[in-house]
């Protein structure tokens, strides 16, 4: 082997150093990759262990998912001094006998239990009454309307007029529609379950679309009724306003309410502010006292042109010097007196904002 010169040795050392640096960078990158993977695995293991430790007592899991050997759930309710069942003063509801039953069935004794004699001509000394309340078999009543056409000797053919409830060859009557609306809107059944209930109870096929169509027609018939409700609410001295958000067709919408001790108006709208209030038709032109929770967005911008006084709900805010004072009691015989106060943001005390989350969001007069 030939001896290497100094220059050759220096070049060899530099090549070895470069190779070592490359290997070191590769190892460092691999080590960093393994450390990141190790950290992710540790996090995953910790999450799985936390899931294994969860049960119905320390999470929202139902008791049915608890493993065998888990401690039984205990109620957080504290025992009270009240006895079980109805309390004193509770107004119960029970069946009561009627004086005119639909069917009367007499049950006569066949013979004397003492001597066995026939009791056909014996004197009646007592009669106890027992009544059974039941629903007879339900059968849909079908009424056929025959529309007659007659031809006059003059050659003209005249056809009779069909009643409004028979506008199509087949359709559901008003009572059937009322039952559909009651189950769907009154008992909160889904369209599918409402149609299923009608079919099983009455033996009449009903589709989900029919449930929706009947409900829409009924809602359209409430125009005059809603106008009367709006008018009576606007005539009240004090009206409570509130709103809550809800999802509809994948988007945020708002359910607005205007309520008095006797009337409540619910109004659905895609907006929360002035546009919804104007469409609802109660706050514009209202001259009484409007009570709400002082949420900053409930103050219209620009202000509504209504001379109403604004007061905040006592459950959602504390009194402040800027709160509108209560109206002066009316003088007997002089009628109610109101001081017109413009709906300006300056009279809104302590608006509820994101920086003040401690104030509750539920107003006491909000209808269910």
* Cα–Cα distance for residue pair 297/345, rounded to 1 Å: 10
Q: What confidence tier does 105 reach under pLDDT thresholds 50, 70, 90?
A: very high
Compute how many other C-beta atoms are within 10 angstroms of the C-beta atom of residue 238: 15
User: Does the pTM exceed 0.75?
Assistant: no
Return the minimum-mean-pLDDT range out of 113-127, 234-248, 352-366: 352-366
Q: What confidence tier does 309 reach under pLDDT thresholds 50, 70, 90?
A: low
pLDDT of residue 306: 53
Return the minimum-mean-pLDDT range out of 27-41, 116-130, 165-179, 335-349: 335-349
- Whether the per-residue pLDDT at 356 is higher than 80: the answer is no
- Whether the per-residue pLDDT at 183 is higher than 60: the answer is yes
What distance, in Å, lies between the first and last C-alpha atoms of the chain? 101
pLDDT of residue 9: 86
* Cα–Cα distance for residue pair 266/367, rounded to 1 Å: 8
Identify the CA nearest to 347 among candidates 310, 315, 316. 310
pLDDT of residue 55: 81
Peptide bond into 302 cis (omega under 30): yes
* Cα–Cα distance for residue pair 300/312, rounded to 1 Å: 15
- Whether the per-residue pLDDT at 101 is higher than 90: the answer is yes
Chain centre to alpha carbon of residue 122? 64
* Cα–Cα distance for residue pair 263/7, rounded to 1 Å: 104
* Cα–Cα distance for residue pair 220/247, rounded to 1 Å: 23
* Cα–Cα distance for residue pair 85/360, rounded to 1 Å: 34
pLDDT of residue 313: 59
pLDDT of residue 364: 37
pLDDT of residue 98: 94
Instruction: Please answer whether residues 228 and 279 qualify as being in contact, where contact means their C-beta atoms are separated by less than 8 angstroms.
Output: no
């Amino acid at each position: 082997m030939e001896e290497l010169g100094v220059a050759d040795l220096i070049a060899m050392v530099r090549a070895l150093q470069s190779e070592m640096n490359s290997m070191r960078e590769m190892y460092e990158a691999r080590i960093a990759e393994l450390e990141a993977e190790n950290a992710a695995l540790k996090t995953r293991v910790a999450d799985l262990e936390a899931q294994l430790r969860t049960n119905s007592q320390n999470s929202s899991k139902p008791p049915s998912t608890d493993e065998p050997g888990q401690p039984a759930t205990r109620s957080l309710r504290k025992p009270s001094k009240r006895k079980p069942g109805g309390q004193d003063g509770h107004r119960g509801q029970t069946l009561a006998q009627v004086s005119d039953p639909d069917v009367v069935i007499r049950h006569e004794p066949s013979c004397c239990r003492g001597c066995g004699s026939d009791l056909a001509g014996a004197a009646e000394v007592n009669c106890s009454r027992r009544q059974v309340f039941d629903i007879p078999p339900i059968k849909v009543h079908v009424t056929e309307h025959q529309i007659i056409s007659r031809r006059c000797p003059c050659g003209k053919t005249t056809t009779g007029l069909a009643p409004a409830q028979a506008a199509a060859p087949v359709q559901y009557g008003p009572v059937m529609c009322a039952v559909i609306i009651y189950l769907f809107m009154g008992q909160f059944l889904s369209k599918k379950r409402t149609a299923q209930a009608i079919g099983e109870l009455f033996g009449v096929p009903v589709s989900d679309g029919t449930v929706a169509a009947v409900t829409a027609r009924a809602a359209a018939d409430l125009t005059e009724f809603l106008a009367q409700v709006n008018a009576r609410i606007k005539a009240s001295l004090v009206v409570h306003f509130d709103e809550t958000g809800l999802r509809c067709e994948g988007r945020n919408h708002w359910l607005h309410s205007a309520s008095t001790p006797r009337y409540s108006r619910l109004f659905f709208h895609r907006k929360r502010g002035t546009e919804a209030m104007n469409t609802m038709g109660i706050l514009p032109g209202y001259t009484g006292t409007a009570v709400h929770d002082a949420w900053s967005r409930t103050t219209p911008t620009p202000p509504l042109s209504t001379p109403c006084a604004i007061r905040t709900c006592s459950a959602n805010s504390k009194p402040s010097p800027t709160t509108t004072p209560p109206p002066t009691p009316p003088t007997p015989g002089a009628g109610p007196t109101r001081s017109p106060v413009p709906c300006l943001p300056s009279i809104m005390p302590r608006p509820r904002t994101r920086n003040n989350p401690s104030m509750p969001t539920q107003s006491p007069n909000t209808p269910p």
